[in-house]
Amino acid sequence: MSNAIYYVSFKLKKSASVPDFLQAAEKLNNEFISKQKGYISWKQMNDKETWADMITFETVEDLENFKKVSSTPDETALHFYSFINLPSCKMHSFSVERSY
């Protein structure tokens, strides 16, 4: 089986504090995301304007389960989302076909 990646690109709200956003992301990862079955890693990237999250799971099934349990966000997730310009979000799920 190949790994699966959940890729989300987005912009932060103009009023968002980057240090506070990163702190909220770390809390969300520590309290929820990293505890999900098959979780491997979460990378956060930016190019000064657009951010991207790349969350890697062991299998497509693990990723699909994560998406299901994430569909009803708790307080920690809602706090993380409060920094994001939600209409700017673009979400994609990928199956890793090959790694070099």
Tell me how far apart the terminal alpha carbons of the chain are, to the nearest angstrom.
16
Low-confidence ranges of the chain (pLDDT < 50): none
Computed on alpha carbons and rounded to an integer, the radius of gyration of the chain in Å comes to: 13
Res 1: pLDDT: 67
Distance CA 20, CA 38 (A): 28
CA pseudo-torsion sign 9, 43, 31, 95: positive
Residue 55: its pLDDT value, please?
Answer: 98
For 4-95, CATH number out of 3.30.1360.120, 3.30.70.100, 3.30.565.10, 3.90.1150.220 equals 3.30.70.100
Q: What is the DSSP string of 50-96?
A: -EEEEEEESSHHHHHHHHHHHTS--HHHHHHHTTEEEEEEEEEEEE-
Write down the domain spans for the chain.
4-95
Residue 54: the pLDDT is 98
Coil, helix or strand at residue 47: coil
Please tell me the predicted confidence (pLDDT) of residue 44: 98
